[in-house]
């Protein structure tokens, strides 16, 4: 039986399940993602990053014998994970470490809890003590740009995610999303809600919480529910597929316009 679901990647589309992959692991999956090449990534027991190649279904692993968390696979050629106390590891899509670990805090007192890679020398970081966005040149170890103090931040707000996407910066909390331009000028404050996982695709943020999977349209600011036959533990979206993880099985849905 084919289950039809409706999801909006910018245009109304129907999605049908086309495949499933069981993740052969004896540990707990603590983070999950995919890339634009449909490869699957997951962190096992918070210490080992695994990749399953979409074409060959072969797996490779990376571990540096420390805690790994906050997997980010949305850069087409580079993957990042946090290690230790807010230190950042940058890998290529074969899980080769392509430079030394980026260590925080730095001498000038910049200690970001959230980071978003821009390219192979620059990242954006959010420092909750400074209450600023900082553009950091991690190869030359210098600050290139910073926002004003974020007066929109209230005492009860906690920012949990930072995304850089098409020259826009999104600082995401459980009550609001702040969107900035590439110069860290605030463009919009968008009401939001609590979530356990999210991903940005085009002009929408897809997020998972206890009530299921949802879509926030960043233009209209409207939230819609996505009705799927399975309540996922984790999910990921790229330009072709939605990947939903449940009990170590990845269910793959393809768009059908």
Under 8 Å between Cβ of 251 and 229: no
Strands 114-117 and 122-127: antiparallel
Handedness of CA 85, 90, 96, 97 (dihedral sign): negative
Q: Assign domain 5-256 to a CATH class.
A: mainly beta
pTM of the prediction?
Answer: 0.88
Reading across the β-sheet that carries 5-8, which strands appear in turn?
5-8, 12-22, 249-256, 241-246, 234-237
Q: Which helix (H) or strand (E) holds 252?
A: strand 249-256
The 3-state DSSP class for residue 130 equals coil
Each residue's pLDDT tens digit, 13-68: 456 889 999 999 999 999 999 999 999 999 999 999 999 999 999 999 999 888 99
Q: What is the C-alpha to C-alpha distance for residues 18 and 15, in angstroms, rounded to an integer?
A: 9
Q: What is the C-alpha to C-alpha distance for residues 209 and 121, in angstroms, rounded to an integer?
A: 34
Nearest Cα to 192, choosing from 167, 217, 229? 217
Q: What is the C-alpha to C-alpha distance for residues 198 and 32, in angstroms, rounded to an integer?
A: 11
**For the chain, domain boundaries:** 5-256
Each residue's pLDDT tens digit, 181-195: 999 999 999 999 999
Nearest Cα to 254, choosing from 29, 2, 24, 58? 2
DSSP conformation class of 132 = E
Nearest Cα to 52, choosing from 28, 35, 64? 35
Each residue's pLDDT tens digit, 123-180: 999 998 889 999 999 988 889 999 998 865 555 568 999 999 989 999 999 999 999 9
Partners of residue 69 on adjacent β-strands: 82
Q: What is the C-alpha to C-alpha distance for residues 74 and 106, in angstroms, rounded to an integer?
A: 26
- Check residue 104 and give its pLDDT: 85
- Check residue 156 and give its pLDDT: 54
Each residue's pLDDT tens digit, 59-115: 999 998 889 999 999 877 789 999 977 789 999 989 999 988 998 877 767 889 899
């Amino acid at each position: 039986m084919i289950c039809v679901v409706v999801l909006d990647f910018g245009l109304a589309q129907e999605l049908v399940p086309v495949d499933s992959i069981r993740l052969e692991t004896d540990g707990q999956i603590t983070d999950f993602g995919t890339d634009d090449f449909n490869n699957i990534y997951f962190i096992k027991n918070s210490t080992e990053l695994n990749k399953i190649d979409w074409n060959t279904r072969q797996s490779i692993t990376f571990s540096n014998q420390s805690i790994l968390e906050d997997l980010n696979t949305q850069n087409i050629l580079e993957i990042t994970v946090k290690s230790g106390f807010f230190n950042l590891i940058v890998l290529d899509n074969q899980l080769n470490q392509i430079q030394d670990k980026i260590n925080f805090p730095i001498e000038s007192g910049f200690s970001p809890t959230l980071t978003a890679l821009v390219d192979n020398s620059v990242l954006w970081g959010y420092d909750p003590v400074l209450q600023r966005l900082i553009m950091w040149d991690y190869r030359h170890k210098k600050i290139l740009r910073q926002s004003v103090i974020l007066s929109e931040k209230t005492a009860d707000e906690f920012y949990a995610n930072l995304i850089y996407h098409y020259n826009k910066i999104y600082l995401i909390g459980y009550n609001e999303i702040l969107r900035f331009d590439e110069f860290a000028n605030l463009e919009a404050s968008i009401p939001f809600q609590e979530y356990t996982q999210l991903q940005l695709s085009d002009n929408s943020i897809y997020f998972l919480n206890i009530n299921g999977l949802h879509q926030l349209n960043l233009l209209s600011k409207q939230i819609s529910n996505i009705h799927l036959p399975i309540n996922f533990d984790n999910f990921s979206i790229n330009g072709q597929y939605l990947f939903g993880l449940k009990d170590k099985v990845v269910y793959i849905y393809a768009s059908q316009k």
